[in-house]
Structure 1
Amino acid sequence: MELLPYRPHLLLRSGHLQTLMVGVLFGWRPPYAARQISIPLEDNDALIAHEELAPPAIAKGFDDSTPLNILIHGLGGDHSSPYLQRIAYRMAQRGQRVWRVDLRGSGAGLDLAWRPPHAGSSEDLASVVRAACQHYPLAPIRIVGFSLSGNIVLKMLGEAAAGALRQPVDFGRISSALAIAPPVDLHLCAANMERFSRKVYTRFYLRVLDGQVETRRARWPQWNQIARQPSIRTIREFDERYTAPLSGFANAAEYYTRASAKPWLQHIQTPTTLLIDRNDPIVDLQAFDALQLNSDTTRTVHTKLGGHMGYFGRDSQGKLLRWMEHYVEHHLLDCNSSSNHA
């Protein structure tokens, strides 16, 4: 599969337009065809991984060494996020196993975990990796995290290599990782979202998060112990009221400090790529200043005019190309090619 260069769509030549179109151009979605795997977490909660069911003619070619690709959604999403569905479907059609993972308390796992998902939940991801190793002991594992989950992936890889996870994980089983638009410095990202020019994004996320709060209030008494007033106006205020206390942090500031992946990047031993757009209005580019990376394993790929997980581009015929999805699929297939020729 040839990697096409990113060329922004002629009508979407700004980071803001690219990002705003994510909520408009949903695109096609394949039908749901997956088996659900319940993965226990350290605190007796659980989450769900959705293993894509490949067509029988393709699945019969699976063996112990068939790669397993783990895809994890961003803030406010779940396994049904359109980009996740499309990537999983196409990778299964190409003969690879795929897990779409719901972060704790999200998607099909709403009734399995009362605590909220958050950017620092690396222990949860480690549990997913352990489960993957148990299900497929010989399969190469690749992980792709989008936005908030990109931070989780990077943090987990760094902690695993540094021996900082509460339970060790065999990170050597992970053959590659990809983080798309990861908010590696949560302090900066929260401050960025408080700028006037970012209010449209804040309103969008808060509307999604408020809906999830109401769903969780109806299910979990712990959520009803938290006051509804005053009204929440920023992501920081949301994290201060809900994410931090329900996840065991003293406040939003402690949450941002402890959950940010940036200090852990230098420890990563797994081949890892960070895809960063210079015009991302959600993740402040300053977050990537003075990164301390292990140059033997970790690299950054910079793009322009892709926005935050927008990347509405053009193919060689000028037709709409969802380039982020194209890049992820190329990355995973290229990993497969590299392993076959190693």
Structure 2
Amino acid sequence: MPLITSKFRASGLFKNTHFSTIYSAKIRQVRGVHQDRERIELPDGDFLDIDWSYSLLPDGDGGSRKQTQNVALLFHGLEGNAQRTYMLAMAKLLTQHGYDVAAVNFRGCSGSDNRLYRSYHSGETDDMRFVIQNIAARDRYTNIFLYGVSLGGNALLKYAGEKKEIPSQVKAIATVGVPVDLKASLEQLNYSENWVYRTSFLLDLKSKYRKKMQKFPEIMTPEIYRTIKTLKDFDDVYTAPAHGFKNALDYYEKASSYEFLPEITLPTLILNARNDSFLHGHCYPDIYAAQSKSLFLEIPKNGGHVGFYKPGDFYYSELRCLDFFEETVE
């Protein structure tokens, strides 16, 4: 499938990647989303929290909402959660169009510390697969749609290309701001102008490490903590050993979705802005998209990192992903 010519046009200050990214992450507000939490126990003794929102379409008989056959599972980015604005906005849009929404919090991201030494990472698909199969097995939904942002998008694309069984109810995948090549993304974040993003991530990750030190003092020590100066350091001392990788570089290679893209057969959208401060090189997989019948790649000139501002309640990225889901059903 050739590259999609994007209709998105940024205006004013939103043409600037940093303004677009920071405004969307720190200033934008989304109100009116109700969430009900469900805790799912995982096979290894840990858990995931899912925040549900339900279709707001009237049932026509005086009830508050119509029973729907559509559900969308949303997966957040690094150190995000189901309450981030990009998650709330997508949930709000989908419920207004007749979808139930399951906003998935990765391990340790729901406000409750997870139980085990391990947590989550960019290529973690076992938890994702377990949740998708769990919801598919409930026989309530005919159509399942998957939506991932940044890290969550990378994991979704890897999941779709792993050649493992995917429930027949899964109809389409939409992703936004996806670092499909983790090493290239890290290189981009290491540029001097991107110091605010990598510093913010590093502070959040180190804070979580400190908390986990109290539960696992034999393998997480103050001496190790003091060696964490960069994102790569964190991946070397925690992400890699906690999740079965040799080191950070081994993790970046094996957890990246880039090499899995040619194996994707489900209709899949990747929406990555050309000026995204988190993306570089193979994060724009135009060669694979051109050779695929299932992979739709859209690269607007502007948009920053998940910052496709559009006047009104919803961003271009959210409306575009909804359209992609609707087109698939039609």
- What TM-score results when the alignment is normalised by the length of structure 1? 0.84
Partner of residue 272, structure 2: 276
CA deviation after TM superposition for structure 1 residue 233, in Å: 3.0
User: Which amino acid letter does the alignment assign opposite residue 17 of structure 1?
Assistant: F
Measure, in 1, the Cα distance between the counterparts of 2:166 and 2:233. 34
1:286–1:268 CA distance, 2 compared to 1 (3 A): closer
Q: Which amino acid aligns with 1:295?
A: S
Hey, what's the Cα distance between the residues in 1 that align with 2:303 and 2:278?
12
CA distance in 2, matches of 1:83, 1:23: 8
Q: Distance in 2 between matches of 1:67 and 1:146?
A: 20
The 5 Å alignment of 1:12-51 reads 12-31=14-33, 33-51=34-52
Q: Is the deviation greater in 304-313 or in 37-46? A: 37-46
Task: Find the aligned partners of 1:50 and 1:256 in 2 and give their Cα distance.
Answer: 29
* Structure 1 residues 226 and 137: alpha-carbon distance in aligned structure 2, compared to 1, 3 A threshold: farther
Q: Does 1:312 align with 2:306?
A: no
Give the deviation of 1:126 after TM superposition: 0.7
Give the letter aligned to residue 178 of structure 1. A
Q: CA deviation at 1:201?
A: 1.4
SS at match of 2:113: helix
- Residue pairs, 1:161-310, within 5 angstroms: 162-163=163-164, 168-170=165-167, 172-219=168-215, 221=217, 224-225=220-221, 227-289=223-285, 291-293=287-289, 295-310=292-307
Contact 1:104–1:113 (Cα < 8 Å) also in 2: no
CA drift of 1:331 comes to: 3.1
**Secondary structure in structure 2 of the residue aligned to 1:227:** helix
Q: Which amino acid aligns with 1:83?
A: Y
The C-alpha deviation readout for 1:165-212, integer Å capped at 9, x for no partner, is xxx443x32100011111111111122222222222111211222233
How far is the alpha carbon of 1:43 from its aligned partner? 2.8
Equivalent residue number for residue 74 of structure 2: 71
Letter in 1 for 2:50: A
Report SS of the residue matched to 1:27.
coil
The 3-state SS of whatever aligns with 1:24 is helix
- 5+ residue gaps, structure 1, are none
Measured at CA, do residues 74 and 30 of structure 1 come closer, stay the same or move farther in structure 2, by a change above 3 Å? Answer: same
Identity %: 24
Give 1:157's aligned residue.
160
| CA–CA distance in structure 1, aligned partners of residues 127 and 139 of structure 2 | 18
Equivalent AA in structure 1 for residue 47 of structure 2: A
* Equivalence for 2:3: none
Question: CA–CA distance in 1 between the matches of 2:71 and 2:131?
Answer: 12
1:223-279 CA distance string (max 9 Å, x none): 634734435332211111211111121110111111010111111111101101111
